[in-house]
Structure 1
Amino acid sequence: MLTSNFSKEQQNSDKPEQYGQFHAEADIEYGTELLKSPFSHLTDEDYKQLRESGISDEVIKDCSFRSVGAELRELVIDAEIDAGAKFERQNGGHIAKWQLWKKNHLIEGGLVHDHTRGFNVKANNRGIKRSRTEAELKTKGGLTDPNKKNTEQAPQYRTEEGPKYFLPRGQQAGIVLPQFSFKTARRLIAKNNPELLDQFPEEKDARDWLMEHNPEAAEQIKGFEVKGSHVFWEFVPLHPEIPILITEGAKKALSLISHEYPAIALLGIMMHSEPQADYPDQTPPLKEEIVRLCQPGRRWYICLDNDKGKPKAEKNGIKARGAIAIKLKKLGCFPWVMEWDRSHGKGIDDVIAKEGEGFLNQTWEEAQRFCAWRIQVRRKLTLEMASSIEISERWLKRDYFPSLTKLLEHRLIGVSSPKNTGKTTVLAQLIEEAKRLGDPILMLSHREQLSRAGGKKIDIPYVDDTTAQSRAEKKWLGLCIDSLHEDSKVGIDTRQWAGAIVILDEWVQILHHLLLGNTCKKARMKILRAFVDILKNARLVIALDTDLDDTSMTYLKKVMGVEQPFIVKNTVKLQGYTSYVFETKGDWLTKLIAEIAEGGTPYISLGAKYVNSRMGTYNLEYFLQALFPDRIFLRIDADSITEPGHPAQGIAGYINEYLRANPKVILITSPTFETGISIDEPHFTAVFGYGNGVLKESNFRQAIARVRDTVPRYLWIAKDSKIRHGRTNACIPQQYWNEQSKLFNKMKKVLLSDFRPGFLSKEDELNYQRDSAAPFTPEIAMNTLAEYASLENQIAMDYRELVIDGLEKEGHTVIPGKLSELDIELAGMDPKKLSCQLTASKKEMYDKHKTKVTEAEGFETEEEFQQMFNRLQKTPEERDRVRHHQIEKRYGEVTDEIVDMDDRGLYPKLNLLFFATLGKEFREDRDKAIADPIIREGAFLLPDVNKSMITPKAERVEVILKALDHLGIDLDDTDRIYSNETPELIELKKLLTSDVARKEFRLCGLGYFNPNSTPIIIFRKLAALLGYKLGSTGKRQSQRKEKRYYFYKMKPVDAIAIKEKFFAHQLKQEQERAEARQEALTERLEKEDVSSFSELVEEVLVLGRDIETPFLWPTDDHKLSAPAPRIPVFQDNSPAQPEAEPTAEQLELTV
């Protein structure tokens, strides 16, 4: 691979790099005012411009740039006439003088180059048509750079300098496919893919090669000299392993070509796609010339200007990068983004001229995947404060931190450092010093085993290992944040923790769990209230996380009122391991079996524990134990670590000791072991990670890093993640809150009918009006939740790429995983047969599980069930009893078939169908009963309410069912035949895919009905939503031998079989609940002061003041007496506030 284009003498030359560094053969006279052009088609000044852009003489010689003199005006006018532009004519037929006068600035000439729209643009089977040939373009004029700018243009377009480039009127912009010699073409291949040099034709064979591979291209250049570029741009589509850079402007492309980087150029950053007018009802695709080069698997490097400091240009640059990258991804390509600091230059040609080829190579190597580039601004940790330090050390040391006295002045410490760099060791030293102060010490985590293991290392006892007396004596406590409230088993009183030293281990995950975790939902506002109270009164807060970011630190700063925390950021890259990423699950499983068969001891990290999961911990343990009865397998998941007598019970605290005592044991772990556990024992020969998208991408990387030894990792990673927040997968915080507020507005009349949601208390409400620093408002939590939820939605779309990108940034090597013949031989069968055997194993084990649940003993009372349900430690028999009771409560009976149906998710579908039909009179009371405890906390998070509401969804299903009835479609009819030509289905598609219907259905959680889908696909999706299944009959019919019709009908599935029984049972239960609610309401009204509800003020603190959304503000009749902060109020029939224009940073997040 060539790494330099100039000699050592040139590199070490003392001459000023006035025009940059170029090829050794380029004879440049440094220090002269004007370079002498060695080419007849370029003036000295135009030649100097090209050289200043870092273009070598060799490339200039063959490029399409040419200097044009006074004839430039006529050239442009002729091109505009050919393109269809109209000119006013005089009596003699001449163009009117006033129109000629407008182009007088062209008489002084300029630099012209041809854009290549129409040069042999035909991709394989894409139906792309040529518009113009290269020869035609040469006669019509191309992009011009006039020596004299036109300053007599319309005022709205007039600038100080006039336009720098322009196209003749009416001429459609193409792209620039640079022209160059065979010598340059071979250099491009030699630098990027030297193994392809033998396949690239010699100059003497070029025309024959073109005739063989693309006769049309050969015909177009008949009579012209065959250049290396003619062959190269035909060679590239045959080899997707050749990367391509896409930039803006021909000079930049030629500059990159001069340094052996294959590049094409746009004529403007927004000129990457076909005209919108040609695609009125859809997003236009990339230009035909670009599509022709978009073979699946090709890397594209987007290399646009750095316009930092120019807000409008910067915003357009972000839009262009996003639009280009997303369209490239749809074509199967891999877009990357190249960026540099503005101090090095604006465009890539400026960078090359100023910094040289070495810096260009570095910029290329530091390019980011597009998916990582667009989220980088949301995951960065800014070190703007003078009190922060950035290091790159293998181990953190106490010396990097100031004295404890100084740290107490800061009140907030942030530590960001990679895994296994000694964060806990430094923390132990800090805590040892802090203990001498006698202050309370509270260590919080988001998982029990993490809190146990972390507390053990710094001598902080976990809450279950303490008594009330011991806590009162020492006030050192480790706690899961779920228990941080007064009604928990500990009964946290925040007043007792005033002045405490608070440790937040894995702080980003704590915050995410606190705001979005399901286990916190019932007591979320109680936890938030206690947490904020402790933080505000803390003496010192220490936040540690590998992925510490601005969002998490901003939360702490705002809550605590700290302006300058002390932050240590360690950017070291540790010695990495090699990760092999397999394309299929079968290959991954085969490699796992081969590893065990060869005598290896793998650590297996899975994404689920469910009994009905094919790749869950239960089934894989059952399957592997049957294959290898002599090996010991230990299943570690949420069930086993809390099962009395199980070897994995409480294993997090002594995992290394256990491995030393059991040298050949194989661990099969669930997300329970994703973080907080450090396996330092050199026990395992490999790590196998199954990333099915259930874990966040950062958590998956942490899960496979629990083993500290640098043994190889064998991974299978899903392309996208199952983690989604909201109904529309919003990727910008503002969009997320728009969705949540709209959904809440649909329910507000139901939820606000008999209670007043608002602030935590009347005192808090008054304080909030007078003072923005009131004791507690959830405003900061709201903002943070929106940021994390929308960020995860964006990450979910590129899950696999981001996992790989994260591994590479950590210093690991990632290569494709491939099976060898030895692997298949050791496994005993090929991947497909092995996968089938795993499925059969799951069925065998799951059948036994269903029978156990069906035959389990029930509970006599609901109180007895709740006691068992809330008990942390359960035996397998007790878990089966709990499951038996849950199913019986839902369906009225328990059978093996019903257990299977429920495990496959039938209950939510039948429940929705019930509330849309027979139970519609109960749905509002049902939603109100669920939301009441949440809203009565005073302040609440919108998603906690919206997720549980069934009324908006059921109302729309009711409309759909009426439409089906009107069209004569019966979902219970298993005899009727349907096809894409069924008139009723065509009409149904029109109803479901209208603009209003699509938005409503998606907002309420009914999914997205794509207008481009066929009627059968739409109907199948609708049926599946309600628990039905549309299946193929296996028959088809052809008409006129042009179109085939496939026939379908409803399958007799679970929903049809048990719907009537389920409805009867559900109706009885809802009637009983309604009676109980009425009795409770009567009793409550007798006890409470009803007058307190007489003045209903619908003020809901659901959104912070920092996020702009189309919320409705108070009318004059409802304005608050205090003049200060605005409080969002829902009012009917009020105009919506306009949305704020997204900032440049937000645009980076758009899809």
Structure 2
Amino acid sequence: MVTSLRIAPSGAAKSIGGNLASDHEQEWLMSGVDPEIIHRNVRTLEDTEVDPFTREANYPIAELLNWKVTRFGNQARESVRGWWVSGVDPLNHWQRMEWGRFKPDTPVVDRQKNKPAKYLSPSLGKGSSRLILLDIPMRIWMKVAERFEIAINGATNFWEWVWRNNLPIVLTEGEKKAGCLLSLGYPAIALPGIFSGYRRETRQLIAELGHFATDQRSFHICFDYETKPRTLQNIFLATTRLGQLLTHAGCQVKVIALPGAEKGVDDFVVARGADAFTKLYESATQLEFWQASQLWSLTYSPSLTLNQPYLGDLPYPESGLACIKSAKGTGKTTALQGLIKECDRKILVITHRIQLGKAICQSIGIDWITDALNSENPDSYGLCIDSLHPNSKARFNPAEWEGAIVILDEVEQVLWHALNSATCYYQRVRILETLRELIETVLETGGLVIAQDADLSDVSIDYLRGLAETPVTPWVVVNEWKPEIAWDVSLYDTKNPAPLIDRMESVLQTGAIFVCLDSQKVRGRWSSKNLETYLKLQFSDKRILRIDSETVSDPDHAAYHIAEKINDVVGDYDIVLATPTIGTGVSIDIRNHFKGVFGIFQGVTPDSESRQALARVREPIPRYVWAAHFGPGKIGNGSCNYRDVAQSVKKSVQYNIALLKDIDFDLDEQSNPIALRTWAKMAARVNASLWRYRREFRNGLLLEGHSVTLVTDDLTKMFGQLPITEQTIDNLKSGVLTVSGFEFLEARHDLKVCDRIAQVISAIRTRNQTAEAIAVSDSPEITPEEYYELKEQANQTIQKRYSKRKHELKQKYNVETITPEIKLKDDDGWHTQLRLYYYLTRNPEYVRLHDMQELEDHLERGDGKISIQDVKLLTAQVEALRSLKIPEFLKPGERILATDDLVQFVATTALECRDDMKALFNFTVTEKLAPIAIVQTLLGKIGVKLTCTGRAVAPDGRRGGLRIYKYFPPEDDRNSILAEWEKQDLSMLQTLMEVTGCNDFSEIDEWIERSA
């Protein structure tokens, strides 16, 4: 923000003067600009004007543009004519600005850029461009005042009034567009170009814009609708940089995205009307969410553009990188069949889900890896990307795939799985390195890599191109066809899914239902297991099939290997509950069986994946959906800006490495920047979805062309601020009154019934959690050898799963007996908290020992390299908590008040180090947080809290003073667990001392230095 500018006094700008030709006026009128705005700011210019009295010639265009008159010469420029626009100057008492813009009737060659210029600015040297603040009449001023409900109160200059009252401002490229928006009553500033709001060299706002960049002002950036890849990239870059500079100045920045096909906002307003723009303005996206949404875009120029319901046979290239973007259900897999049959080459299919992969392999006539291993000639097969490394059962060797065809189906999800999934954790570096070697080998030996996805984006293509040793130009197919059959979707805008389950019960009376869920385990309140229990209790006569990761791999369950036969099986059931296990690519094509598709999505998976789940059933029957407002599983630091996500994880590792000292480790050399950048971009997309999950879900459904009815009891959403009477509510309940696009919740649902459903589900969850914890505790013991054998088995009964879980808990907590309580606590993340508590309250050398071993394990698994997003070291967190004096709160019985010096120290320090708090603890510290709330949050990181025991006596002797807090040690199994951990760490530490002959870590540091 520019703070050194003087406050300009009020005053009216001098009229622009001169004449305005009718054709130029008409051009502005065609852009929806008020006539009086036009006459106040625009005039017609010709290259030569002759004074009628003195007969002297002057050259207004040359003078205004700072050209040398000799540039005109005797060439065809004698007929140069056009219009000139200039506004008021915020840096010169709001007087008429001498700088302006000229649009010649015929483009003139810009000598600096050596190409025709549609618009020309004064040639005043680099960094001289300014902006245009159009002068407006009182009539328009009053329209702005009415829109934003701000009184004019005797002000004499519109733009000074806008500045003083901190009104929202729209930034757009071009004066006619700004004039159009001003005519509608929106303060709009015209930038001469998308990059003209800041100086590229210094990365600072231009002075005029800096003058308006006052704290808490709202800016809406509204640039043109574009389809050209290069222009789209420039718009993204310009919007991002301008938005970030405004944000750093304390402003709130949103982006208005024009939907097309109209190019400019003036074209949009003229074509669709003022109300259409108002909707765009009110639904503008916050900058960081807009940035994340752009990461879904595909800007590569298509080699082939289609618009058809089925891809059919595609003219795939013989070699190179082929990228296919086509909607769900358009036959992307079927299109491969002809290619596979005709070629005499090895085929490799890579997916992220086993069931999906098997279905694809069956479709194109090759084996899945488990079958291929038993084949005499396993030349072609499919595998999950988890197995794409030399140590897997596949013993994968990239060198064996020279000249092959590699198919990455659902490539966006395949890459995200490789970069982020827990199942790839231990082999991630090897998987990514093997993928790099595979892509490089195939492309260098005349092979073909096919990457296809309904949501294909630049992110995936950029990553695959980055893996190649030599530059590769992708062959891109874009099928623009969208399903013409829309769903009728009832989207429940309620605090929980209980009303949806009530609707589920009513639809069940008419026939079978298919239910999509993103949660499986019993600790998830609305999970597949808990919902199955509830529905069995409610409908004992109904046949229920649960499809999740456990049932599809359990030989004793009806869902075992169901993806291969799903259309033959689901018709036998009244209720089918399905988690993301069946995954993308699985199509349920049976007709006239299901009467409704239901979805309960808590934000565990991105909204795009959840919408794909709703599309598994191809029949266009009604959809009933509940989606959480916010998703819980944000990635990294939760930011929607990929640079912030990447920097956060990198900073955390750097902090820890610095504290470990003398570690021979180079973060830049021993990590993969391309993988980190791609992971961060995909993480930012996920975060953007999860921050506004329900809203993004609804927007996605609308963009897909579906009819969405919002089921809600929020009358404000239905009627805005209009007064609501009791009669109106009664009419809504009875159905006499309806509102387009909405359904009143109580018109169909009894709220008491919904509350009872929620209570029953909660009771079921508690019962199921307890029963499972007891079952795990009572399950048979297994040896380490049996555990590793079981871990490699794809098929497991529920009893084997319980034994495996018990063994993992024993290793995790280093105890002989696993009680049900330990299992329940572990489900709630107790281990992470307990481990941090342990290292904070024990010998400081233990955490360094842990982190050194952890880093060594990562390097060993990755052959000297790491995957930064997986490295979770603890030294920096422990040292930060020590610096904040958190251990001083762990004194039982001591009285603590919010005004205590210790509490104030923690709050002040955390606020000063807010960036570090975010990087280390993913904790956003703001001035609005109460000091005691900051303390409680940090204590929560180690699984403890302060308890309020009463209130202190107020200074005047009355009750109701400050709250009194005390620390009470938790009553759980931690002491015995911590004792075992300490025994293990002490033994390791003693062994290390004996080997090195040192007495403590400081001596070990010296020993390492001498050894080096």
Give the counterpart letter for 2:793 in structure 1: R
Shift of the 972–849 alpha-carbon distance from structure 1 to 2, 3 Å rule, reads farther
Structure 2 match to 1:980: 898
Displacement after TM superposition at 1:428 (Å): 1.5
Which string of whole-angstrom CA distances, capped at 9 and with x for unpartnered residues, describes residues 920-949 of structure 1? 323333233333243135656644576332
Structure 2 match to 1:813: 707
Partners of 1:335 and 1:431 lie apart in 2 by: 45
Tell me, what secondary structure is at the counterpart of 1:413? strand
Partners of 2:785 and 2:326 lie apart in 1 by: 47
The 5 Å alignment of 1:728-739 reads: 729=639, 731-733=641-643, 736-737=646-647, 739=649
Aligned counterpart for 2:304 among listed residues 376, 389, 404: 389
Displacement after TM superposition at 1:568 (Å): 1.2
Structure 2 unaligned regions, length at least 5: 1-14, 44-83, 103-121, 199-204, 714-731, 735-744, 998-1007
Structure 1 match to 2:124: 159
Aligned counterpart for 2:803 among listed residues 853, 868, 881: 881
Tell me, what secondary structure is at the counterpart of 2:565? helix
The normalised TM-score by structure 2 is: 0.73
Displacement after TM superposition at 1:418 (Å): 0.5
Q: Are 2:315 and 1:401 aligned?
A: yes
The 5 Å alignment of 1:892-931 reads: 892=815, 893-931=817-855
The 5 Å alignment of 1:563-582 reads: 563-575=472-484, 576-582=486-492
Partners of 1:1067 and 1:51 lie apart in 2 by: 83
Structure 1 unaligned regions, length at least 5: 1-39, 69-109, 118-139, 151-156, 168-172, 189-205, 225-229, 238-242, 292-299, 761-776, 1083-1092, 1098-1151
Partners of 1:659 and 1:324 lie apart in 2 by: 55
Structure 2 match to 1:623: 534
Displacement after TM superposition at 1:1081 (Å): 11
CA contact (8 A) 1:691 1:716 kept: yes
Displacement after TM superposition at 1:867 (Å): 3.1
Structure 2 match to 1:865: 787
Displacement after TM superposition at 1:614 (Å): 0.6
Structure 1 match to 2:739: none
CA contact (8 A) 1:980 1:1015 kept: yes
Partners of 1:1080 and 1:717 lie apart in 2 by: 57
Q: Are 2:749 and 1:831 aligned?
A: no
Q: Are 2:276 and 1:374 aligned?
A: no
The 5 Å alignment of 1:321-336 reads: 336=256
Partners of 1:256 and 1:923 lie apart in 2 by: 60
CA contact (8 A) 1:687 1:714 kept: yes
CA contact (8 A) 1:176 1:264 kept: no
Partners of 2:153 and 2:1010 lie apart in 1 by: 85
Partners of 1:218 and 1:378 lie apart in 2 by: 42
Partners of 1:654 and 1:58 lie apart in 2 by: 63
Partners of 2:400 and 2:128 lie apart in 1 by: 69
Which string of whole-angstrom CA distances, capped at 9 and with x for unpartnered residues, describes residues 684-706 of structure 1? 22222223222123222222221
Shift of the 988–175 alpha-carbon distance from structure 1 to 2, 3 Å rule, reads farther
Give the counterpart letter for 2:544 in structure 1: F
Q: Are 2:453 and 1:545 aligned?
A: yes
Paired residue total:
869
Shift of the 532–374 alpha-carbon distance from structure 1 to 2, 3 Å rule, reads closer
Structure 2 match to 1:102: none
Structure 2 match to 1:54: 29
Q: Are 2:173 and 1:179 aligned?
A: no
Shift of the 114–943 alpha-carbon distance from structure 1 to 2, 3 Å rule, reads same
Aligned counterpart for 2:697 among listed residues 803, 811, 814: 803
Displacement after TM superposition at 1:1027 (Å): 0.6
Partners of 2:667 and 2:126 lie apart in 1 by: 59
CA contact (8 A) 2:398 2:441 kept: no
Partners of 1:519 and 1:415 lie apart in 2 by: 27
Shift of the 1061–146 alpha-carbon distance from structure 1 to 2, 3 Å rule, reads same
Tell me, what secondary structure is at the counterpart of 2:889? coil
Displacement after TM superposition at 1:625 (Å): 1.7
Partners of 1:1019 and 1:589 lie apart in 2 by: 35
Partners of 2:349 and 2:250 lie apart in 1 by: 47
CA contact (8 A) 1:325 1:370 kept: no
Partners of 2:410 and 2:33 lie apart in 1 by: 56
Structure 2 match to 1:934: 858
Shift of the 357–488 alpha-carbon distance from structure 1 to 2, 3 Å rule, reads closer
Structure 1 match to 2:96: 144
Displacement after TM superposition at 1:845 (Å): 2.2
Give the counterpart letter for 1:930 in structure 2: E
Shift of the 1037–487 alpha-carbon distance from structure 1 to 2, 3 Å rule, reads same
Displacement after TM superposition at 1:645 (Å): 0.6
Structure 1 match to 2:329: 420
Aligned counterpart for 2:543 among listed residues 632, 639, 643: 632
Which string of whole-angstrom CA distances, capped at 9 and with x for unpartnered residues, describes residues 398-452 of structure 1? 1x425xxxx21x3332211000011111112221212xx1x22221111111111
Shift of the 726–751 alpha-carbon distance from structure 1 to 2, 3 Å rule, reads farther
Aligned counterpart for 1:1064 among listed residues 969, 972, 979: 979
CA contact (8 A) 1:502 1:541 kept: yes
Q: Are 2:865 and 1:971 aligned?
A: no
Partners of 1:529 and 1:1001 lie apart in 2 by: 33
Structure 2 match to 1:685: 595
Q: Are 2:574 and 1:665 aligned?
A: yes
Shift of the 487–163 alpha-carbon distance from structure 1 to 2, 3 Å rule, reads closer
Which string of whole-angstrom CA distances, capped at 9 and with x for unpartnered residues, describes residues 293-321 of structure 1? xxxxxxx7846899998999996654455
Shift of the 888–570 alpha-carbon distance from structure 1 to 2, 3 Å rule, reads same
CA contact (8 A) 1:741 1:942 kept: no
Shift of the 412–61 alpha-carbon distance from structure 1 to 2, 3 Å rule, reads closer
CA contact (8 A) 1:442 1:500 kept: yes
Shift of the 793–751 alpha-carbon distance from structure 1 to 2, 3 Å rule, reads farther
Displacement after TM superposition at 1:478 (Å): 1.6
For the aligned residues, what is the CA RMSD? 5.3
Partners of 1:148 and 1:1076 lie apart in 2 by: 77
Which string of whole-angstrom CA distances, capped at 9 and with x for unpartnered residues, describes residues 878-907 of structure 1? 222233333344163433333222221111
Q: Are 2:493 and 1:583 aligned?
A: yes
Give the counterpart letter for 2:333 in structure 1: T
Displacement after TM superposition at 1:621 (Å): 1.2
Shift of the 254–562 alpha-carbon distance from structure 1 to 2, 3 Å rule, reads closer
Tell me, what secondary structure is at the counterpart of 2:515? strand
Partners of 2:820 and 2:655 lie apart in 1 by: 42
CA contact (8 A) 2:637 2:648 kept: no
Displacement after TM superposition at 1:396 (Å): 0.6
Structure 2 match to 1:785: 679
Give the counterpart letter for 2:96 in structure 1: T
The share of aligned pairs that are identical, in percent, is: 23
Which string of whole-angstrom CA distances, capped at 9 and with x for unpartnered residues, describes residues 811-857 of structure 1? 23334223785976667834334322321221122222222223333
Displacement after TM superposition at 1:248 (Å): 7.8
Displacement after TM superposition at 1:1047 (Å): 1.4
Which string of whole-angstrom CA distances, capped at 9 and with x for unpartnered residues, describes residues 98-128 of structure 1? xxxxxxxxxxxx999899x9xxxxxxxxxxx
Partners of 2:552 and 2:940 lie apart in 1 by: 37
Which string of whole-angstrom CA distances, capped at 9 and with x for unpartnered residues, describes residues 469-506 of structure 1? x1x42522121111122221232344443332222111
Displacement after TM superposition at 1:1015 (Å): 1.0
CA contact (8 A) 1:1035 1:1046 kept: yes
CA contact (8 A) 1:461 1:476 kept: yes
Displacement after TM superposition at 1:657 (Å): 0.6
Shift of the 253–440 alpha-carbon distance from structure 1 to 2, 3 Å rule, reads closer
Partners of 2:872 and 2:250 lie apart in 1 by: 39
Shift of the 373–612 alpha-carbon distance from structure 1 to 2, 3 Å rule, reads closer
CA contact (8 A) 2:947 2:968 kept: no
Partners of 2:683 and 2:611 lie apart in 1 by: 20
Aligned counterpart for 1:710 among listed residues 611, 614, 620: 620
Shift of the 309–707 alpha-carbon distance from structure 1 to 2, 3 Å rule, reads closer
Aligned counterpart for 2:562 among listed residues 651, 659, 666: 651
Structure 2 match to 1:994: 912
Give the counterpart letter for 2:431 in structure 1: I
CA contact (8 A) 2:532 2:544 kept: yes
